[in-house]
Amino acid sequence: MTAPDETSAAGRTTAETMAIETQTFRTTEFDLPESAAGLLLLLGGLCLLFYLTIRTSLKDSRFLRTLPRTVLLIPRLLVLCCLLFILLNPQSRTQLSRTEKSRVGLLIDTSLSMKWPAVDAAAENSTAAKAPTSRAELVQQQLISSGLLTELSQTHVVSVYTFDETLRGPWAVVSDGEVRFVDEQESTADLSPAAGPAAGTRVTLQNEQQTAAAAPESPQSVERWRRMLQPDGGETRLGEAVYQLTGQLAGRTLAGVVVVTDGRGNAGLDTEAARLRAQRTETRLIATGVGSLKPQLNLWVSGMQSPLDVHQGDPFDISVSLQGAAATGQTALIRLFQQTAGSDGSDRRQVAEQTVDVADESIPVTARFTQTLTVPGRYDFTARVESANGVTEMTLEDNERRRTVEVTDQKMRVLVISSGPMRDYQFVRNTLYRHSGVESDVWLQTVQDDNADMVSQESRKLLTKFPATEAELFEYDVIVAFDPDWNRLTAEQQRFLNRWVSEHAGGLIVVAGEIFTPRLAENSDAARDVSVLYPVLLSRQPPAAQQSARAEEAWPVLPTAEGRVAEFLKIADDSGNSDIDLWKSFRGVYRSYPIRGLRDGAVVLLQFDNPRARTELGIPPFLVSQFYGAGRSVFLGSAETWRLREISPQGHQRFWTGLIREAGQGRRSRGRARGLLLLDRTEANPGQLVTIRAQLLNAQLQPLVVPDAAITITGPDGQTVQTPDRLTADSRSGGQY
């Protein structure tokens, strides 16, 4: 593991190795005065000293001959010369002269935004055909292929760094027109952005034997530059990268740091902190922008909604929402493609397209496509958005979204219960009986065994009592009950019904009425297993007087925010167009059963907008839904949905078929099998643990109790995945593995 300062030193050593020129020479120096006046005084003093010495010696030996006088003078002069030698202090010195080039740090952005177009769409027509398409390609062309980096390296040693989520490098050192690439050897350290470029990284310069230096724009270097500048970072930590690099390269020979980026940082330190550090270290910062000067257009599919499964021949809607950046006033084209799920795309075809105008880029724009499929199977629908005007977007990676729809020919089994032959019951009964995807049985509670032969009801089977066993009840997917008399069910049958919803994912739709619904409200404890299935708390006050006063005028029924996104509430008009706003044209209903509260988790989808019926809870609900265990239950405030036929008979039919399929969605996804597999996650990364649970029932639809259960997992290629082949029983709950 290499410490941060070791890596920084390695980068500097790499640059210095290529930048330093040395010269060695030897000189002899004397301790002479540095100033001219001092030198003149020294010379004058020496001359005076020698003059006095000679004069004194000759005067003292004037009576001697010439030879003895000379012999006496020489020692005195030798002493003066020794003193002069000591005074001048001659020394021999070896000097090393080193010349260093100035250094430049080149910091290049490699975040994902560098993949975006390098030029404005408007300027593309005037750009050469071989112009770079991305900002990263433009950087490589302008800095390297053009020879600019080679020219810069004639006077500077250039160290190349990259940054996105973290600072990395130096990747290359360029001097005198030659580039030396740097190898990166990963260690076991933590590569966190906060640790800087040195965390877990060791850099070494390739030597002459490994790779000879080459020009930056040479063919053997171009591919390596391309890999080095490949955009792959999810963040742009501009301030943090400049801050760290300034600290690493600071020194007397640093000429400056050149930053090449396409915009502001979106994570890490603010660039102001980096600027202040550069100012303190006297480092010159030079910023070079890449890309457009204008906001770049980008359209993306922000949402796509569709039913998970539909019956063959039933029309269904696919809603596609799009948003965009710099898209105000733009026109977008949405294309819808269809292909068989899991195929290689060879059968992919466009099935619809729609043009929409983006009035405000902050508000999603929705397009709706109505589709009808008659062949059972799984189908993938892909929505693609593009500019209708041909404007180039900065990225196309977010322009598509896919949804899978399963078309089934399996009929839904529905049990219709009614306390009497009310009008809404009759319309719903007839609608379900004529629907090709529904098999309906009827229990009209006014029919007894003795008169059943004289009664004809549009249904597969006419019942005179509630299913007697849990296995018989298990055959149904949804129960629709119009003001039912639940006292006709035994306590055991009520428990069957509760378990059918909570454990077997059944769907229950109850429609309030004026006779038996108040009785259930008064005696809810006696039928507790049934009353808890209602998503509302029924008012115990007899509503007859209040309803008679309200029955003189119809009041609108309007969807809530949650209801507006529910696909089954998009009713249809006579032309077949479905829209949630058609509820605004609905004249309304006359009454809705009063409630005193909602159960936890209940969601109001439709409201009865009668101001005189408001309570401390606000506007009374008309349609409320809740999940109860594995199933779902729905409450309707009154049996007046037949009034939707004023908009269109198709609107009433679509409302009820959609509502029944919504209530039975859990049942359809589970099927009528006695087993249910549950995963703790639907998506997982490689190596991530996925927990598999199974809920298993025996032939009597009771929890299966065995020590373990065999399981086989098959991969997409049809091969068996090597995993534990058995699930262990959960001792805390029977039938759970």
Q: What pLDDT shows up at residue 10?
A: 47
Asked if the model's pLDDT at residue 425 lies above 90, the reply is yes
Pick the more confident residue, 208 or 294. 294
Picking from 210, 188, 212, the residue whose alpha carbon sits closest to that of residue 201 is 188
More confident residue, 715 or 113: 113
**Residue 714's pLDDT is what?**
76
pLDDT of residue 4: 40
Q: Residue 20: what pLDDT?
A: 60
Would you state the pLDDT for residue 702? Answer: 67
Residue 579: pLDDT band with limits 50, 70, 90? confident
Structure confidence at residue 6 (pLDDT): 44
Lowest mean pLDDT, pick from 48-57, 155-164, 393-402, 406-415: 393-402
The per-residue pLDDT of the chain, averaged, comes to 81
The band of 194, judged by pLDDT with boundaries at 50, 70 and 90, is very low
What is the phi-psi region of residue 131: left when phi exceeds 0, alpha when psi lies from -120 to 50, beta otherwise? beta
Q: By three-state DSSP, how is residue 467 classified?
A: coil
Q: What is the mean pLDDT of residues 420-434?
A: 94
Residue range 16-29, pLDDT digits in tens: 455 566 777 788 88
CB atoms within 10 A of CB 616: 5
pLDDT of residue 673: 52
Least confident range of 20-29, 65-74, 180-189, 342-351: 180-189
Give the separation between CA 637 and CA 622, rounded to whole angstroms: 5
**What pLDDT is attached to residue 418?**
96
What percent of the chain has pLDDT above 70? 83
Mean pLDDT confidence for 500-506: 88
Long-range contacts formed by 687-694: CB under 8 A, 24+ apart:
692/727, 693/727, 693/730, 693/736, 693/737, 694/727, 694/736, 694/737
Count CB atoms within 10 A of the CB of residue 346: 7
Query: Please, which pLDDT band fits residue 490 given cuts at 50, 70 and 90?
Result: very high
Mean pLDDT of 470-493: 94
120 pLDDT band, cuts 50/70/90, is low
Q: At residue 462, what is the residue type? A: L
Average pLDDT on 629-656 reads 92
pLDDT digits 0-9 by tens, 548-573: 445 678 999 999 988 988 888 988 88
Tokens of 646: 């004023």
Q: Residue 627 corresponds to which amino acid?
A: F
What is the Rg, in whole angstroms, of the alpha carbon atoms belonging to the chain?
A: 45
Q: Return the pLDDT at 126.
A: 46
Residue scoring higher pLDDT (439 or 211): 439
Q: In this predicted structure, what is the pLDDT of residue 187?
A: 30
Q: Do the strands 102-109 and 254-261 form a parallel or antiparallel pair, or are they unpaired?
A: parallel
pLDDT at 264 over 70: no
Residue 186 scores a pLDDT above 70:
no
* Average pLDDT of span 79-89: 85
Residues 342-363 have pLDDT tens digits of 888 889 999 999 999 988 887 8
Residue (of 87, 91, 85, 61) closest to 74 by Cα position: 61
Residue 405 in this model has a pLDDT that exceeds 60: yes
Q: CB of 231 within 8 A of CB of 291?
A: no
What's the rounded mean pLDDT across residues 71-81? 86
Q: What is the reported pLDDT for 718?
A: 61
Percent of the chain whose pLDDT exceeds 90: 27
**The pLDDT of residue 14 is above 60:** no
Name the burial class of residue 50, with classes exposed (0-12), middle (13-18) and buried (19+) by CB atoms within 10 angstroms of its CB: middle
Asked whether 650 and 658 are in contact (CB, 8 A), the reply is: no
Separation between Cα atoms, residue 216 and residue 209, nearest integer Å: 19
* Per-residue pLDDT tens over the stretch 671-730: 445 666 766 455 554 555 677 777 777 766 667 888 888 888 876 556 677 666 788 887
215 confidence band (pLDDT: 50, 70, 90): low
Read off the amino acid at residue 82. C
Question: According to the per-residue pLDDT averaged within each range, which of 37-51, 104-118, 396-410, 478-492 is highest?
Answer: 478-492
| Top-confidence residue, 689 or 406 | 406
pLDDT > 50? residue 545: no
Residue 299 has pLDDT above 80, yes or no: yes
Q: How far apart are CA 417 and CA 38, in angstroms?
A: 126
Instruction: For strands 692-696 and 708-710, give the pairing.
Output: unpaired
Pairing of strands 603-608, 557-559: antiparallel
Beta-sheet pairing, 507-511 with 478-482:
parallel
